[in-house]
Amino acid sequence: MDKILLEIKNVSKSFPGVKALDGVSVNLRAGTIHSLMGENGAGKSTLMKCLFGIYHEDSGEFFLEGKKVRFSNPKQALERGISMVHQELNQVHTRSVMENIWLGRFPLGITGVDHKKMYRDTKAIFDDLNISIDPKSIISTLSVSQRQMVEIAKAVSFSSKIIVFDEPTSSLSNVEVEHLFRIIYDLRDRGCAIVYISHRMNEILQISDEVTVLRDGKLVATTPATELTTDKIITQMVGRELSNVYPPKNNIPSKVILKVEELTALYQNLRDVSFELRSGEILGVAGLVGAGRTEMLETIFGLATRKSGKIIKNGRAIRNKNSRQAKRNGFAILTEERRTTGIFGVLNIRENTTIANIKNYLVKKIYLSNRKMSADTKWSIDKFRVKTHSQSAKINTLSGGNQQKVIIGRWVLTNPDIYLFDEPTRGIDVGAKYEIYQLMLDLAGDGKAIIMVSSELPELLGVCDRILVMSNGYLSGTVDAKNTSQEEIMLLAAKHV
């Protein structure tokens, strides 16, 4: 089975400031399982989105069975036999299984939709794939794994030749994973080409025929799985150049200010995390997507519900039940999604700067002083070098980096001791990144403690003192930033997945 079903040739794609894909070529063979690997942001999903026509590649070509194809939306791809089982299942929850499968192409009889035929066809596919789900049951009553089966059946109903699985096992139990693999093998044996995207090394080695590793938008290698080991894959995945320049470190970690003991979240994937944080320290947090890094920050700050565990600040256990308590207890948070949880887009810089600290501008506890608010905003703009012509400019007219500086200013004004920074440099250009690093180092230099979550390992190595590595909700290790390597961190990050 060596027939090439899909040839991806020299595909490149740029976003402003980032080269997401750089001349990537991959061949998918019929009757094989081809795994796609890489760190967060390596270009896996961008490549798939180019294939399905969600993005348009800047250059490069796709050949389906030797013929050049270019899809402008996923529906066209589907009609040509290329389908995808998404990580977040896009299903109509309130409708039945069979309706979901045949959505948009219901079989029509004389009196409208022919439900009997729909049932028969669905049942036939399910029997064929050994899936035991009633085609008439409602999607929302099914488990995640069953819903995935439905998606697979849908792909089969289009007689897809190429099926892409995006992190299909992330929320399945072992038994369910086995069942899924049986179906995937079955599809392979029928001559389909399977693209399998996952972070789980052992799974990759178990089911793949070939493994392609991407790094920073570039193809590292395509290797037969038999020649690979976990260590080899990791070596291929990391090794990003330490190209950015970091400001000199001048902070000195001193006494322990925060102790987290066996922190576990109620609704989210965060289990038994314990660590210490020192004044003047920048503590990095590394891990793959879904490792529980953001969840940890949110649980500490009271944005996510804590199930058990202790947060001890300066020797005193604190509750941080909600963000107001956290703020009173001297915490500050910079969230990952700046647009959705950080800025107040339609409000101006002054309002965005003073909002977290608003009570301090009350005169005689009655009315707010515009003069005080302006003065603090001016201080923040000057101190953090926010580029704007006026305090009254709406914040959404600023660049991402400047918005980030305004939010940092917002929190600095509340005078906290502990800063929680979640991906503080995401979507920010290189110059502004440097300024943010400098700012963090200055804060640490003033004796503030900082926890910094980042998906960019070089950044963590360049700025932090120690790095916590998380894996599937657990803390899998703590490393000293000076004496570690990207390989070591990656290995820890893959420990529990």
Partner 1 sequence: MEKKAFLSGFIGRRWQEYTALDGRGKAMWWRDFFIRNAIYIIIIVLVIYVQHFSIVNNFANRFISFGSMIDIINRSSASLFLALGVGGIIVLTGTDLSAGRVMGLAACVAASLLQNPVDIFPAKMFPNLTAPPIILVMLFVMVIGGIFGLFNGYFVAKFKLHPFIVTLSTMIIVNGIVLWYVGLNGGSPIAGLMPEYGQFVRGTVTIAGTPVPFFVFYAIIATAIMWFIWNKTTLGKNMYAVGANAEAANVSGISVKMTTILIFMIGGILYGFSGFVEAARIGSNSATTGFMSELDAIAACVIGGVSFTGGVGKIRGIVTGVILLQIIAVALQWLGVSSDVRLIITGGIILAAVSLDMQKYLAKK
Residues lying near partner 1 in the complex (CB under 8 A) are found at 301, 303, 323-324, 326-328, 333, 335, 340-347, 351, 354-356, 358-359, 362, 367-368, 397, 410
Q: Which residue number, 1 or 355, has a Cβ lying nearer to partner 1? A: 355
Distance CA 364, CA 375 (A): 18
Q: How far is the CB of 273 from partner 1 (least distance, A)?
A: 21
Q: Which residue number, 238 or 428, has a Cβ lying nearer to partner 1? A: 428
Beta-strand relationship, 282-287 and 449-453: parallel
Q: How far is the CB of 38 from partner 1 (least distance, A)?
A: 30
Q: How far is the CB of 182 from partner 1 (least distance, A)?
A: 42
Distance CA 95, CA 102 (A): 11
Q: Which residue number, 82 or 300, has a Cβ lying nearer to partner 1? A: 300
Q: Which residue number, 21 or 333, has a Cβ lying nearer to partner 1? A: 333
Q: Which residue number, 310 or 339, has a Cβ lying nearer to partner 1? A: 339
Q: How far is the CB of 430 from partner 1 (least distance, A)?
A: 26
- Enter the DSSP assignment of 482: G
Q: Point out which residues pair with 63 in neighbouring strands.
A: 7, 68
Q: How far is the CB of 87 from partner 1 (least distance, A)?
A: 23
Identify the H or E element spanning 180.
helix 174-189
- 121's CB contacts (< 8 A; 6+ apart) are 98, 102, 107, 157
Q: How far is the CB of 362 from partner 1 (least distance, A)?
A: 7
- Enter the DSSP assignment of 31: T
Q: Which residue number, 160 or 335, has a Cβ lying nearer to partner 1? A: 335
Q: Which residue number, 361 or 474, has a Cβ lying nearer to partner 1? A: 361
- Enter the DSSP assignment of 394: B
Radius of gyration of the chain (CA): 25
Distance CA 40, CA 224 (A): 23
Q: How far is the CB of 360 from partner 1 (least distance, A)?
A: 10
C-alpha dist (Å) from residue 357 to 145, 396, 398, 467: 46, 21, 22, 31
Q: Which residue number, 206 or 322, has a Cβ lying nearer to partner 1? A: 322
Which residue in 180, 191, 257 sits closest to 31, CA to CA?
Answer: 191
Q: How far is the CB of 234 from partner 1 (least distance, A)?
A: 35
Q: Which residue number, 197 or 333, has a Cβ lying nearer to partner 1? A: 333
Distance CA 435, CA 96 (A): 53
Distance CA 96, CA 311 (A): 45
Following CA atoms 419, 422, 426, 431 in sequence, which dihedral angle do they give, to the nearest 10 degrees? 20
Largest Cα separation within the chain, whole Å, is 81
Distance CA 298, CA 333 (A): 8
The helix/strand/coil state of 307 is strand
Distance CA 19, CA 141 (A): 42
Q: How far is the CB of 389 from partner 1 (least distance, A)?
A: 13
